[in-house]
Amino acid sequence: MKWRWLWLWLFLVSGAIWLTILLSFLLFPAFVRLDSLTSVSGLSAHTLYVNYVKLMAYLHLPWITQLHLPDFAVSVHGAHHFADVKRLFLLDIVICLVTAPVALRFLAHLRATRTRWHLVRPFEIGAVAPLVLGGLMSINFDAVFIGFHKLMFRNNDWLFDPTADPIILVLPEDFFLACFALALLAFEALMVYGIVTGRRDARNTKNV
């Protein structure tokens, strides 16, 4: 039973992250307009999006081993950082796909047996994490962003020099803030759904 809980949590966390990565395809054009990135870069919105898709294809697809952006130079340090990010992306996707069958069967079993009330307490605890992280982000996102990079990366390649890696100029901080917030909202929505359905099963069990 315990290992199924572990796989469920791994699936929920990795799934929320992967969903956010996919939704960033919709977020990026919005920030091109909001942050006037066409003026910053001197490139059209279409060209910027093409470069973003190229970047995301490299980060997602294991058979693309070299990062090439048609309109942006990439330094050695920049290439190293994006290679590190690629490994994290692929790890997240693998975790999500590997844990999905067990996690979904577990959830289906709880639903079929009307025992989703088992989710309530763990999900109530899990729901606190996005609130805490969201609060910290609202106070000082820079500190959270820097702390995240120091935790996830063992080098300083993420400290981009805009003259060597101009791509960073069209990946503004508020875009990353929106992505972080979206991931937290996705995870919080999963927690709330589990709590609501779990309490419903608990009420139905008492009424039987």
State pLDDT tens for residues 112-168.
999 999 999 999 999 999 999 999 999 999 999 989 998 998 888 888 999 999 999
Cβ atoms within 10 A of the Cβ of 36, count? 10
pLDDT at 208 over 60: no
Q: What is the pLDDT of residues 30-72, one digit of tens each?
A: 999 999 999 999 999 999 999 999 999 999 999 999 999 999 9
Tally the domains of the chain. 1
For 203, the domain range is 2-207
- Counting residues of the chain whose pLDDT is more than 90, the rounded percentage is 88
Mean local confidence (pLDDT), 189-203:
93
**Do residues 198 and 123 make contact, with C-beta atoms less than 8 angstroms apart?**
yes
pLDDT for res 206: 64
Structure-derived torsion over alpha carbons of residues 136, 140, 146, 152, reported in degrees to the nearest 10: 10
pLDDT for res 6: 94
pLDDT for res 207: 58
Lookup result for tokens 């898709």 = 53
pLDDT at 201 over 90: no
CA distances from 27 to 21, 23, 49, 116, 189 (A): 10, 6, 11, 34, 19
Specify the DSSP class assigned to residue 69: B
pLDDT at 102 over 80: yes
pLDDT for res 154: 86
When comparing pLDDT for 146 and 13, which is higher? Answer: 13
pLDDT for res 203: 85
pLDDT at 3 over 90: no
pLDDT for res 1: 63
pLDDT at 170 over 70: yes
Choice among 86-95, 108-117, 182-191 with the minimum mean pLDDT: 108-117
**Do residues 32 and 183 make contact, with C-beta atoms less than 8 angstroms apart?**
no
